[in-house]
Amino acid sequence: MRKVSEKEYPVPFHNDVFFKYMLIGEDAGSELLRRRIIEEIYGLKVQTTKVLNPELLPEVFFGKRAVLDVVLEDEAGHFYDLEMQVSGYTQEEQLRFQQYGYRLVGRQLKQCNDYIKLKPFYQIIFMNSMPKAGGRMIRHYKVKDEDNQEEPNGTLNRAIVFLLMIKQRIREVGGIKNLTEFETFCYVLAYNPDDAILNMKRRMVDVAVEKYNEMKEDNQLFSWAESAEFAERAVQANLREQTAEAKKSGMEEGKRTSLKLLLLHKYGVDDAWVDTLTTQQVEDALISILECSTYDALKAQLTDRKAE
């Protein structure tokens, strides 16, 4: 199997900017991916899906790093929340997933204001990591009692797809050629497409590659995604060196390191200016760097904001 180089795919397919771009389109390709994902995970035959949060804004990519989830509604009024998670299955992330689920309840109540009319809602989280213990690649979570019986009329449905377990699936089914269409799609999200996958001509994979090439043609958006990936790697590298007690300061230091690397990457500048900035100024700079064509313009914009 040919190894895919980073130069070929500088933004990996599990990049959260690309993940959202791939799924929010109004075209037939994005619609197909949304329907196939829902059908594969929950066995639901959905005819149409409407994206309720199609915005892709640069300020989301940096600073506080809000999650780029995709919220959908189908023709029956069911809500779905799809997201890509690359930073691990921590306690913080587990609680955030629950909060996102409760937010879907809020959306329904805003529409009908009658809890009796609540319909089941569904979360699908693609996790680019391995679970602490082995087991299934796709895990389903519902509220159950001591006898493992599901709560009657329960509305919460959460599924997590551990993408890196796809290699275990390849061993289980006796080779990559025996993967299902959805499993080949998961392989691409985890490891990017290679010749073996592309030669299988699976529709979900073909659409994902088409979407990737389409995003590359949008130079500004692809540059944002590339910078976001670059910054995220710096943050994660810094966090790996931190103790649990130092995680908060690790996040702040990671952003500062990311800014230094982006300055070097974009302007070829390496100086101590970043160390003089406050935490808020660092977050502002991570957003402003997307718009400023020169280093001096970036510094001027930060100075103007400070004056305000």
Q: Is residue 19 scored above 90 in pLDDT? A: yes
Whole-angstrom Cα distance, residue 119 to residue 154? Answer: 9
Q: What type of residue sits at position 125?
A: I
Question: 67-95: per-residue pLDDT in tens?
Answer: 568 889 888 888 888 888 765 555 565 66
> Nearest Cα to 208, choosing from 23, 82, 16, 5?
23
Specify whether the CB–CB gap between 52 and 72 falls below 8 A.
yes
Instruction: Kindly tell me the sign of the dihedral angle through the C-alpha atoms of 126, 127, 128, 130.
Output: negative
pLDDT score recorded for residue 63: 47
Residue 192 · residue 184 · CB < 8 Å: no
Average pLDDT, the chain: 81
Pick from 123-132, 162-171, 206-215: least confident: 123-132
Q: Token match 């392989």: residue?
A: 187
Query: The pTM is what?
Result: 0.73
Q: What is the side-by-side order of every strand in the sheet holding 121-127?
A: 49-51, 70-74, 79-85, 121-127, 156-162, 138-141
User: What per-residue confidence (pLDDT) applies to 79?
Assistant: 83
In this structure, the strands spanning 121-127 and 70-74 are unpaired
Between vectors from CA 209 to CA 205 and to CA 215, what angle results, nearest 5°? 145
Banded pLDDT at 64 (limits 50, 70, 90):
very low
